[in-house]
Amino acid sequence: MQKNLSGNGKPLLELIGIDKSYGPFKVLKNCSLNVRTGETVVIIGPSGSGKSTLLRCVNQLEPADGGDLFFEGRRVDYDKRNVHLLRRDIGMVFQNFELFSHLSVVENIMLAPMKVLGMSRADAHDIAVELLGKVRIPEKADAYPDEISGGQQQRVAIARSLAMKPKVMLYDEPTSALDPEMIREVVDVMAELSSEGMTSLVVTHEMGFARRAADRIVFMESGEIIENASNSDFFGGAVNPRTRHFLDQILH
């Protein structure tokens, strides 16, 4: 997988010293992470390690308590009047898909471009159809979410996020709620986007995806980033003992 990641110097996304607490419980401790344009970073770790919370700090669904967030070189402080502007450039895919149950597949994809970007219905429809083709389920355009399989729902969710033409895609355990035979179809879409240069930050347990598509792999535990290694280093075996311990547990 040959990707040109030299970019233009500054990373697309910089998380510096991120802290987050829920009451007395410190979920994120001084987490720092850079993601360059076009890079795919996979975050792994045990549950409760704060991986999803870190992801949600990026699009400020969970605003950080401390530390800085830089997006496209500009500092982004949490401002609830303007946070929606940041989120237009950041796509997010959730473990439980969260398709809008009252809308058909194509309407799900069209909603945000129309209501957020003010796109016309016709243009939004064209984009929706094109994206459905890209995620390989064009025939399900008029189906409703509860009529399609989990793997199909997740692919629609990816298409829905892509319709906003985001600069970075966040995936929060996208395959954890899927039956095993459906994981492949979703991972294939993610890997394809990755190789096309979509900057991606993926929280997952799918080590196969990580090996295939990740430029770097980050290991988190108890709210801290323990490891931040390139794909070759990571799968070459040069890892921190705590990382090794976790990997031994999940690779069986």
Partner 1 sequence: MSLELVWQYLISPAFFHGAVTTLLITLYSLVFGVGVGVVIALLQDSQTRAGRTLALIYLWLFRGTPVLFQIIFIYNVLPTFGIRLSAMVSAVLALSLNEGAYMAEIIRSGMQAVKKGQRTAALALGMKPFAVLRHVVIPQATRMILPPIGNQMVGMLKLSALVSVVAVEELMLVANQTASSNFRYFEALTAAGIYYLVLTTIFMGVQALIERKLDPKKRRKGPRISLTERMLGTSRGAAVR
Q: Under the rule (CB under 8 A), what is the footprint of partner 1?
A: 59, 61, 84-85, 87-88, 90-92, 94, 96, 98-102, 111-112, 115-116, 144, 146-147, 157, 160-161, 164
Tell me the pairing of strands 66-71 and 74-75: antiparallel
What's the CA angle centered on 232, arms 226 and 233, to 5 degrees?
40
Spatial strand order in the sheet of 199-203: 90-93, 168-172, 199-203, 40-44, 216-221, 224-230
CB closer to partner 1 out of 51 and 216: 51
In the complex, what is the shortest distance from the CB of residue 168 to partner 1, in angstroms, rounded to a whole number? 12
In the complex, what is the shortest distance from the CB of residue 72 to partner 1, in angstroms, rounded to a whole number? 16
CB closer to partner 1 out of 26 and 88: 88
In the complex, what is the shortest distance from the CB of residue 96 to partner 1, in angstroms, rounded to a whole number? 6
Q: End-to-end distance of the chain based on CA atoms, in angstroms?
A: 26
Residue 194's φ and ψ, nearest 5 degrees, are -60, -50
**Three-state SS for 236?**
helix
**Rounded Cα gap, residues 246 and 203, in angstroms:** 15
CB closer to partner 1 out of 5 and 83: 83
CB closer to partner 1 out of 1 and 117: 117
Q: What is the DSSP letter of 147?
A: G
In the complex, what is the shortest distance from the CB of residue 42 to partner 1, in angstroms, rounded to a whole number? 20
Closest CA to 97 of 209, 182, 177: 177
CB closer to partner 1 out of 59 and 194: 59
Report which residue type is found at 163.
A
CB closer to partner 1 out of 49 and 52: 52
The CA R_g of the chain, rounded to the nearest whole Å, is 18
